[in-house]
A and B are shown apart, each in its own frame.
Chain A
Amino acid sequence: MSGESKKAPYRVPIGPNHPALKEPVMFTFEMEGEVVRDVDFAPGQAHRGIEWMGMRRNPVQIVHLTDRICGICGVVHSLSFSLAVEQIAGIEVPERADYIRTIVHEFERIQSHLLWAGVAAHELGFDSLLYLTWRVREEAMDVIENLTGNRVNYGIVQVGGVRRDIVPEQHAIIEKCLATYEGLLDTLLSFFLDDRTIRMRCRDVGVLSRKDAVELCTVGPTARASGVNVDLRQDYPYAAYGDLDVKAVLPDRYLGETHGDVYDRIVVRLLEVGQSCQIIRQCLSEMPAGPITAEEKLVKLLATCKKATGEGIGRVEAPRGECLHYVRMEGKDSPASWKVKASSYSNLMSWIPMLRGSQIADIPIIVASIDPCLSCTDRVAIVQDNRRSILTKDDLHRLSAEKTRRLQG
């Protein structure tokens, strides 16, 4: 260490692996006393090469691979990949399948938001609330297990529709779960929002102004908590959302004002649990009868996908924000190109304005407040000669120019 760096501001590295971090990411804080002066972070520590695996598989196989991009949003990735492939192959999804997709999608939002609420309570040192939230989260997990066959990695979505129908006997199970949550929501809101400790730790902590939220292209609850009215379900409806009445949840509709802090993010996520219950209830009552998949014979589906050429984009409002899949097919078994942009990718940059000026003790809750999912986000890791290097736009331009010169001889 050089003599200069011993003076303030001190550099505090946290990560890539650290007990306080749930997932690997490298933070470098510049501290002045207890206050964060500046912060930088480096994701890309959990790259798994899922897209590479996808290039060697056909769409029917990739759907199950997409389930495994994220452990919490299982249906989001497979749904948005299927939307992209259906767009390319011109497959019309039956209405009933759209409704079933929506129902599973909303149950996933409920369990994901409750999981986050528990993690947030844990980061504040409020472990009794963590256990309570995760206990009530089990209700949603049980229903998901009943509908799809698994607690995680549901495998319910397939290109062209869904793989399992919701039978009348399951309506009662869903209804019971919804009634539990609707009865519980006020209690949960009071546990989180009326608690003095949570208010002290979260009010005006990790503030993201509306301007920053728009400029940094944040998505999902992080953007909505800063007062940005974005929600794919309302702006660009997919699946059955076009028929449903979905309005983005904004904190000022509940509290009358928007601070854009951690507290507002708790408000948005908890209110979305209630919203999801309403959406599921509406779906159940309006669900039309009919087939659940456009193509029941998987062999035919494989042939259709093989013939397809073109490119497609699937966009889905994940619990964390917009998730995007880009697929290009060129008449082969496997896609020519597949790109995944998970929602956390858009949200990570908002850490920097949030963390600047905060205290060391607030770092965990601020980092957790955007609900980061890093293994979903990491799509690229560059390792050459055992060294990691990062290519900037200028480097890429230089490489491209060099290749042109090389090809010209």
Chain B
Amino acid sequence: MRGLPLVPELVRQLFRRPATNRFPAKYLPPSMRAFLRDVQAGRATANPPVPTPPKFRGKIAYDRDSCIGCMLCVRVCPAHAIEFLPDTKKIRVWVDQCIFCSQCTSICPKSCLSMTDAFLLAGEDRYAEDLIVE
């Protein structure tokens, strides 16, 4: 087809599987929040997301017992998301501010900070319990 090189490709596209992964639901539910509540309660199943790559930088995990309170992570956090608690000499991570650079996990001398695979962190309350790691 002269001047219309895309047409054969478009026809081929008709018989291919769509590249988009339909997450969390195959078709848009009437209410997304109601659907997610149903998923949490086990009444509905969500379409799984694309798997995370190896060494993905997700929500931070903190091993409180091995922390020595050296404050190095506070010094390198670009987003000022780590708060030092002077009373207990431990830290508190505000995940809503975290930019997932993993700089704190690289500098920690005791390796008590690590990145998990969790990335479904969107919410309405930035001070929600699961967004504060301590």
Chain B residues proximal to chain A, CB less than 8 Å = 2-6, 9-10, 13, 19, 53-57, 72, 75-78, 99-103, 106-107
Contact = CB atoms under 8 A, between A and B. Distances in A.
Contact of B107 (A142, A146, A299): A299
B106 A57 contact: no
Interface stretch (A187-195, A349-357, A370-378): A187-195
A287 interface: no
B6 A128 contact: yes
Q: How large is the interface on A (under 10, 10 to 19, 20 to 34, 35 or more residues)?
A: 20 to 34
A146 B5 contact: no
Contacts, number: 72
B46 to A, nearest CB: 21
Given A163-B106, A191-B5, A145 B53 contact: yes
A68 B99 contact: yes
A66 B23 CA distance: 31
Contacts of B101: 64, 67, 153, 155
Contact of B53 (A62, A138, A146, A302): A146
Contacts of B19: 135, 138
8 contacts: A60-B103, A129-B6, A155-B101, A191-B6, A195-B3, A196-B3, A298-B107, A302-B75
Nearest to B72: A299
Given A57-B78, A60-B76, A155-B101, A149 B57 contact: yes
A298 B73 CA distance: 11
Main secondary structure of the interface of A (DSSP, over half): helix
Contacts of A57: 78
Given A60-B76, A150-B57, A155-B57, A190 B5 contact: yes
Contacts of B78: 57, 61-65
A178 B100 CA distance: 28
A11 interface: no
Contacts of A191: 5-6, 9
Considering the complex of A and B, which 6 residue pairs feature the smallest CB-CB distances, nearest first? A196-B3, A61-B78, A64-B78, A64-B101, A298-B107, A155-B101
A220 to B, nearest CB: 27
A293 to B, nearest CB: 10
A295 to B, nearest CB: 12
Given A61-B76, A61-B77, A194 B54 contact: no
A26 B56 CA distance: 39
Nearest to B77: A61
Contacts of A164: 55
A153 B98 CA distance: 13
Contacts of A64: 78, 99, 101, 103
A146 B106 contact: no
Contacts of A138: 19
A58 interface: yes
Interface in A167-205: 187, 190-191, 194-196
Contacts of B72: 298-299
